[in-house]
Amino acid sequence: MANTLTITIPDIGDFKDVPVIEVLVKPGDTVEKETSLITLETDKAAMEVPSPQAGIVKTLHIKVGIKYRKGVLF
C-alpha cells in the first residue's frame, strides 16, 4: 500500500494570508521531489512551493486567487 503525504501551505515569514496565484499540478500528475506544486505571492515576491517527495497528486484543496494561511492543506 502506498503512503499518503499531506502537504500544507508553508510559513513564508510575516505574511498571515497569501494568495495562490498558480496551481502547477492537477490530480493524477506524477511529480518528482522538488517539482513545483503551487505559486504563492506576497507584496515582496512570488514563491513556488516544491514537492517534498516524489509521488502522484491525489487531490487538491486550494484554488487560484484565494488567500490561505500557513498550515492549510493543499
Predicted confidence (pLDDT) per residue in 29-56, tens digit: 999 999 999 999 988 889 999 999 999 9
Q: In sequence order, which residues have a C-beta less than 8 Å from that of residue 63 and are 6 or more positions away?
A: 20, 23
What's the confidence (pLDDT) of residue 28? Answer: 95
Asked if pLDDT for residue 68 goes beyond 90, the answer is: yes
User: Amino acid letter at 23?
Assistant: V
Asked if pLDDT for residue 65 goes beyond 90, the answer is: yes
Domain boundaries, the chain: 17-69
Model confidence, pTM: 0.89
Range 17-69 has CATH code 3.40.50.300: no
pLDDT in tens, 1-36: 467 889 999 988 888 899 999 999 999 999 999 999
